[in-house]
Amino acid sequence: MKIIVICGAGASSTFVATRLRRAAEAAGTDVEAVPSSLSSFAGQLGSADAVLVASHVGDAFADVHAHARAQGVPLAVLPADIARDREGSLALEVVRDLAPRIHHGPALRKEHTMATRTVTIAGSHGLHARPAKLFSAAAKDSGLDVTIAKVDGKAVNAASILGVISLGANTGDVVTLTVEGDGAEGVLDQLATMLETDQDA
């Protein structure tokens, strides 16, 4: 699969892509990681199977997400500490989480419905390890593109437990869930209910 890596600067994108390729090769996973930048990624989307974007791109994330969605290319957010991922293992984990949502070729891609909802975290200890694991597993099992973000914060891949935990969502925090794909409303209902239920009770 061809993965476009965008880290906001050409050099860091190259480092992450190179480490991802090495990790994938060592694991026997077929990944072609291609570094890109915020100024050139749009022209590369047509041949891409997926996009990985760094969390520090800030306001540019919305532009990357819009372009990827228009092309039907699934997108995932890299962990905030991706620069310390010397072995490429974190990036490879993100790719593995993303794999069920990859449509394997532009000819098979199509526009899907999108549903968004704001939800208040009900867990007595917030969205920590156990509820985050249950939530990210449900998002991954849905097979759809699911992101979660705190108010005025960056969206992360809801299928990645690392991404979900990195939000630091506490009891009473409001988050925005976005689901893209066929049956998005049903998946959104399920995930929203999980967040509105105290999993530690």
Both 166 and 184 in one domain: the answer is yes
- Going by DSSP bridges, is the β-strand pair 145-150/75-78 parallel, antiparallel, or unpaired? unpaired
Backbone dihedral angles phi then psi of residue 127, each to the nearest 5 degrees: -95, 70
What element of type H or E holds 13? helix 10-27
Enclosing domain of residue 151: 114-195
Which one is catalytic: 56, 67, 103, 128? 128
Q: In the prediction, which pLDDT does 107 show?
A: 37
Annotated active-site residue 128? The verdict is: yes
pTM over 0.85? The answer is no
Domain contains 191: yes
* Side chain identity at residue 8, one-letter code: G
The total of structural domains in the chain comes to: 2
Domain contains 171: yes
Q: In the prediction, which pLDDT does 109 show?
A: 43
Q: How many residues does the chain have?
A: 201
The set of long-range contacts for 25-33, using a CB threshold of 8 Å and a minimum separation of 24, is 27/92, 29/92, 29/95, 29/96, 30/1, 31/1, 31/3, 31/92, 31/95, 32/1, 32/2, 32/3, 33/3, 33/5, 33/91
Domain end point (choices 83, 108, 133): 108
User: What are the C-alpha distances in Å from 133 to residues 21, 45, 158, 162?
Assistant: 27, 31, 10, 9
Domain CATH code at residue 40: 3.40.50.2300
Both 15 and 82 in one domain: the answer is yes
Both 126 and 100 in one domain: the answer is no
Both 92 and 123 in one domain: the answer is no
The token pair that represents 198 in the structure block: 């105290």
Q: In the prediction, which pLDDT does 106 show?
A: 44
Q: In the prediction, which pLDDT does 158 show?
A: 92
Domain contains 146: yes
Q: In the prediction, which pLDDT does 146 show?
A: 92
Q: Are 88 and 22 in contact (CB under 8 A)?
A: yes
Both 125 and 86 in one domain: the answer is no
Per-residue DSSP letters for 118-185? EEE---TT-S-HHHHHHHHHHHHHHTSEEEEEETTS--EETT-HHHHHHT---TT-EEEEEEESTTHH
Q: Consecutive sets of 10 residues in the chain, 201 residues long: mean pLDDT of each?
A: 81 88 92 89 86 84 83 86 89 87 51 80 87 92 91 86 90 92 88 87 60
Domain end point (choices 108, 125, 150): 108
Domain CATH code at residue 176: 3.30.1340.10
Both 12 and 104 in one domain: the answer is yes
Domain contains 189: yes
Domain contains 126: yes
Q: In the prediction, which pLDDT does 157 show?
A: 92
Region of 143 (left: φ > 0; alpha: ψ -120 to 50; beta: rest) is left
Domain contains 103: yes
Q: Which of 53, 60, 139, 149 is nearest to 97 (CA)?
A: 139
Radius of gyration of the chain (CA): 16
Q: In the prediction, which pLDDT does 195 show?
A: 93
